[in-house]
Structure 1
């Protein structure tokens, strides 16, 4: 509201009406600038980034709340389960990173050394055995296999004869047949090995033992060198990603608990349990405690007398016998625009500059919307 309170006008009204306002006790005080306006408060609109269904309304309209107090709860939905899963993945990623970063255990290295020694010993045994002993052993194995095959063949004939006369079970005939087949295969294998030795080559027999030595040696070198930097870096990245996911879900869960950011009065809260709230939509309006101020209008002619930081006295109609202290917070640099054809001094008086004056209200008796008169000593 744009209103100029002229000191002489107040004196006249006080004299006629006898309201005791002379000079508001301003009487005769020409050392103050008096301006008028309305009380306002810094309001805060609180809400949730994720939205959801209202689980519980904690604060009610008209209640005073402290900073951090819960105003309203939203249903967490699947966020609790998502958090538990993310935490499990985080523990797994942390364990993997710790394992790689710490390197291989000494027990693993000792075991790999033992495997290598065993493979080397087996290879050495094969390569150092005299050739004639290998041939003799191969001949012996072949002859034993032939003898077993002949016995298996004779035994099968007897079993077949008994089977024809239904003196034995079919299973015994099948078993005898299998044994004969296995014996014949063994004869074939031992004969091939004997022929290879006679031909002067056992390289195929040495290939696998040599490969085992190579593999065991490579494994031991890897264990002694530790994990590659790339593997450790990858595990660290996985750990950081898991940490970020847990934090992201926790942040979302925090958004289901709507709290007051400051000490305030709950001005508006119209939700009920079960209501749906859109993401980013305000769910309550708060008036910051101690944030009352007067929006008044300073005439251009008085502009030079008032500065930000100046102390002020404020009176309201609801408490005519009481004065509230305060201070000038801000004077807007852009003034109100007078009509273009206003060329006189009287017209230029109508040019106003919006002024914000803070009010000290320790008893919290003032309310936004009250009209107020502000007296500011001339600086």
Structure 2
């Protein structure tokens, strides 16, 4: 009896020892962190300095957004700042009759500018309405052409079946084929015209916005000129000087804001890395938030492995693992588990065999803590996880 107990104890210790030294290997692919680079100002892409696959450094200029309007806005803001400063200095220095005459002339000048700006905005708005109506008509024609194309495709299939059964002549089949080609050509033509119309609407929208900005600026200049005349006629008070000082500060803040927008017309890389994807083409219209590039950070490497439910006891967040790649067969790289998916999924098609892909697994992400100068995104890797108790 004692001998049986000793044997059972030995078997149990052997099983425990074997379980503690258990090691599993999972497959994955090394990936780098992808950083989106988006437009921060509106306009047309006028320069693309980098291509997919190019290595870049921090602050490298990747693209250029048309900055003509922003440059005009900077000049306008500088003029507004200078005018506010001049008004403040005049108020502090006192008033002369000649200054009053100049103020009256400024009012007349700004009145004329306001009238011109309103006329320009009215013309741009009328053009926009006309183009919107034309594009709506093109859209209706395009929808009709698409319906005709669908009908001709159906007719062609029927004719093809009849022709194969020798129920119609070759001439009748060729006629139906020509009708199908004509329908396709019509759809392609209208599609091109429709897209061109949309691009023109975007351009005219920009003109309307610029005209509206000019109207607002002219109106502000009118009010400012009239206020200046009143100031000259009544003389300066401490309250008036404080008000002019605030206007000067406001104009300076506006100038700094526009200059910052101008700097953002140069699209720069936020990190040192590699251009993974380019999402825009030269001449394309963009707006704030438009995705322009995707940049790969090769120094922040991760690998995702797919662990069956039966092996989840092997993994836990914070656990250290070892990673091996074919390029360095005699070397292991340290990593740590940082994420474990809450939901099961089928094994991805690029992992394991057809049989393995039918299993439900959990995605486990490992972040590499060494090998940044040797490991590259895209390398297949083996992740070795030890200890059946997950510690």
* Structure with more helix by fraction: 2
Specify the structure having the higher radius of gyration (Cα): 1
TM-score with structure 1 length normalisation? 0.49
TM-score with structure 2 length normalisation? 0.48
